[in-house]
Amino acid sequence: MPGTRKLGRTTDNRMAMLRGMVTLLLENGKVDTTVTRAKEVRALADKMITLGKKNTLASRRQALAFITKESVVTKVFEQIAPENADRTGGYTAIYRLGPRRGDGAEMARIVLVSEQAKAENEKSKKRSARKKAADKKAADAAVKPEEAAEAVEETAEKVEEAAEAVEETVEKAEDAAEAVEETAEAAAEEAVEEKTEA
């Protein structure tokens, strides 16, 4: 039963420990601890969130008297309590993690349900984003064969143009070779005439 576990500590020591753990839970959204401590923390954390839902000056002062950080009190009243406005209790969930190495104490993770819901929403958004990206890739891949066919046609046209240019260059080279031969023949004839005259 909540509030009756001694946890092997004196009252002052026990309350100081629980205040610290409740503050940590409300600040981070989750805490790993032993199962019995988690059950004690659950009751006190639920009380703090209920005070946040009341949202009066008196309830804020009560929360400030228990929670060790003022920033966490602000978070409880402005963020956590409004997220749990439609919930009538059970603001936390305890998940067992198995025995602790060393002393074999049964470990558990206590989590704020609102934080857990946020994490699940983020995961589902990431999944949907990944799925959209995969669908887009598949659609792009389906379009690519048409683009590839167009690219092949363009390449074939360029190859034909290049072949025509090569043929023209070969023809010009042949013409130049003929001109060189004619010039050489003319020069040889002139040289022969000059020798015969001399």
Contacts of range 76-80, beta carbons closer than 8 Å, 24 or more positions apart: 76/26, 76/48, 76/49, 76/51, 76/52, 77/52, 80/26, 80/49, 80/52, 80/112, 80/114
Least confident range from 43-57, 66-80, 167-181: namely: 167-181
Least confident range from 17-21, 71-75, 80-84, 188-192: namely: 188-192
What 3-state class would DSSP assign to 14? helix
Q: What is the dihedral of CA 36, 38, 43, 49, to 10 degrees?
A: 170
Q: Which two tokens stand for residue 192?
A: 């022969």
Burial class (CB in 10 A: 0-12, 13-18, 19+), 93: middle
Question: What is the average pLDDT across 119-123?
Answer: 80
pLDDT score for 170: 83
| Whole-number CA gyration radius for the chain | 43
Question: What is the average pLDDT across 187-194?
Answer: 79
Question: What is the average pLDDT across 125-139?
Answer: 81
| pLDDT at residue 197 tops 80 | no
Q: What is the CATH number of domain 11-112?
A: 3.90.1030.10
Highest mean pLDDT among 13-27, 116-130, 142-156: 13-27
pLDDT score for 1: 64
Phi-psi region of 96 (alpha: psi -120 to 50; beta: other; left: phi over 0): beta
**Reduced 3-state DSSP string for 43-112:** HHHHHHHHHHHHCCHHHHHHHHHHCCCHHHHHHHHHHHHHHCCCCCCCCEEEEEEEECCCCCCEEEEEEE
pLDDT score for 179: 83
- pLDDT tens sequence across 86-117: 989 899 999 999 999 999 999 999 999 988 87
> How high does pLDDT run on average in the chain?
88
